[in-house]
């Protein structure tokens, strides 16, 4: 339904036929969804007004999240470097033993499991996409 004289959502809702509801439960669910929509719209309006009135709070929040992002990125890089170091040490031990050398890990040492660590950067589920080669 296209009307040439309808300019707002409220005007469209006023002229549109009510949605088809088949039962009391359907009507109750529809009313609940409408109520949630109105609450969400009012929340967005209030937040926009708050951002307009308090730009210093908005700037603080943006700087907070930027710091958090930097800290998370740094922590992830440090964890990857630690995994690479541990895997390298375990692989060196395995190479030494395979070449006939002596153990510097005991048989029960958990560092043997580090050989199986994934040091691949293929798991970017929480990564920022930044290139980690320039460290």
Residue 133 has what pLDDT?
47
Residue 62 has what pLDDT?
96
Residue partners of 113: CB distance under 8 A and separation at least 6: 90
Q: Are 90 and 111 in contact (CB under 8 A)?
A: yes
93: confidence class by pLDDT, cuts 50, 70, 90: confident
List own/partner pairs for 126-132 with CB under 8 A and 24 or more apart: 126/72, 126/76, 127/76, 128/69, 128/72, 128/73, 130/73, 132/77, 132/80
Rounded to two decimals, what is the model's pTM? 0.46
* pLDDT tens digits for range 7-38: 888 888 888 887 776 788 888 999 999 999 99
Residue 73 has what pLDDT?
95
Q: Are 128 and 69 in contact (CB under 8 A)?
A: yes
Tokens of 67: 């710091």
Q: Give the rounded percent of residues in the chain with a pLDDT score beyond 70.
A: 75
């Amino acid at each position: 339904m296209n009307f040439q004289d309808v300019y707002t959502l409220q005007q469209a809702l006023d002229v549109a036929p009510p949605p088809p509801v088949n039962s009391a439960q359907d009507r109750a669910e529809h009313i609940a969804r409408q109520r949630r929509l109105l609450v969400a719209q009012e929340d967005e309006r209030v937040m926009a007004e708050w951002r307009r009135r308090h730009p210093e709070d908005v700037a603080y929040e943006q700087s907070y999240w930027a710091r958090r992002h930097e800290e998370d990125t740094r922590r992830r890089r440090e964890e990857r470097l630690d995994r690479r170091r541990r895997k390298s040490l375990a692989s060196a031990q395995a190479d030494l033993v395979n070449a006939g050398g002596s153990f510097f890990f005991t048989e029960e040492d958990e560092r043997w499991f580090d050989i199986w660590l994934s040091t691949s950067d293929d798991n970017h589920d929480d990564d920022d996409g930044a290139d980690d080669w320039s460290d």
